[in-house]
Amino acid sequence: MNIANIVITLLSIFSIILLSISFFISQNSEVYKLIGYFDFVLCLVFLVDFFVQFFNTRNKWRYFYTSGWLDLLSSIPVVYEFRFIRVFRVFRVLRILKSVKLLVRFIRENRASSMYGFVVFTSFVTLVLTTTGVLYVEQDTGNIQTAEDALWWSFVTITTVGYGDFYPVTGIGKVLASILIFCGIASFGAVISFVNQKASSFKEMSG
C-alpha cells in the first residue's frame, strides 16, 4: 500500500460519481462533453496505473488474471460501459486497508507523501468542479460557451496566466474562478515544496 493507491482509489470514486451525474445530463450538451473530456483524462491516469502495477508486480500473470484485466477494461476510454468496473479498484483498496484506523495510521506515518497526494486529488477535483460549474452558469450569458472554451479558461486560470480571452461574468462564475486561482497557487506551492524536499534528500544521499 502506498499513497498512489489511495489517490487512485479516490479518483476512482470521483470518476464513478462523474459518470453517474452524466446520466442526468443531455448527451448533446456542452457540460456532458466537458465531463467526457475529464473522464478521458482519468482513463489515461488509470491506464498508466495499470501498466505501473503490471510491471512492478512480481507475478504479472497472476495480477492480470485476478484483478488486472478489470483495471485494464475500466481504463479503456472508448468503451463507456466498462468504466463502472472501476468500483472494483475501490473495493480492492478498501479490503487492503480493512479499517479507518489503519488508514489514519498510514497517513500519520507518511505525512509528507499523504499531503502531496491530497493536494493532487484536491486540485483535480477542484479543477473539474469549477470548470464544469463555470460552463454551466456562463454558457448562456458569458463568452465561455463550449466545453473547449471552459477547458482553455480553466488551464490559463489554474496556471495563473490569465490571458483574458475567456472570463466569467456572473457572480457565481467569478467565485468559482477565485477558488480555481487559489487552487492553482496552492498547487504550485506544493510542487515547489515537493521538488525542494526531493532535492534535499538527493543531496543527503549523495553527500
Compute the average pLDDT of residues 44-67.
84
Most confidently modeled of 50-59, 116-125, 172-181, 196-205?
172-181
- Looking at the predicted structure, is the pLDDT value of residue 99 above 60? no
**3-state SS of the chain?**
CCHHHHHHHHHHHHHHHHHHHHCCCCCCCHHHHHHHHHHHHHHHHHHHHHHHHHHHCCCHHHHHHHHHHHHHHCCCCCCCHHHHHHHHHHHHHHHHHCCHHHHHHHHHHCHHHHHHHHHHHHHHHHHHHHHHHHHHHHCCCCCCCCHHHHHHHHHHHHCCCCCCCCCCCCHHHHHHHHHHHHHHHHHHHHHHHHHHHHHHHHHHHHC
pLDDT given at position 98:
54
- Looking at the predicted structure, is the pLDDT value of residue 64 above 60? yes
pLDDT given at position 81:
59
Residue 93 confidence class, pLDDT cut points 50, 70, 90: low
Q: For 128-185, how does the pLDDT look when each residue is reduced to its tens digit (9 = 90+)?
A: 999 999 999 999 888 999 999 999 999 999 988 877 789 999 999 999 999 999 998 8
Give me the percent of the chain exceeding a pLDDT of 70: 80
pLDDT given at position 85:
61
Closest by CA to 36, choosing from 72, 80, 73, 71, is 80
Compute the average pLDDT of residues 96-120.
71
Please check whether residue 61 is in contact with residue 83, taking contact to mean a CB–CB distance below 8 angstroms: no
Segment among 116-125, 169-178, 185-194 with least mean pLDDT = 185-194
Q: Is 61 left (phi over 0), alpha (psi -120 to 50) or beta?
A: alpha
- Looking at the predicted structure, is the pLDDT value of residue 11 above 90? no
pLDDT given at position 8:
82
Closest by CA to 7, choosing from 49, 57, 43, is 49
Q: How far apart are CA 129 and CA 58, in angstroms?
A: 38
Its pTM stands at 0.81
Q: Determine the straight-line distance between the first and last CA of the chain, rounded to whole angstroms.
A: 30
- Looking at the predicted structure, is the pLDDT value of residue 97 above 60? no
Q: For 26-36, how does the pLDDT look when each residue is reduced to its tens digit (9 = 90+)?
A: 889 999 999 98
Query: What is the residue extent of each domain of the chain?
Result: 1-103, 110-188
The domain at 110-188 falls in which architecture? Orthogonal Bundle (1.10)
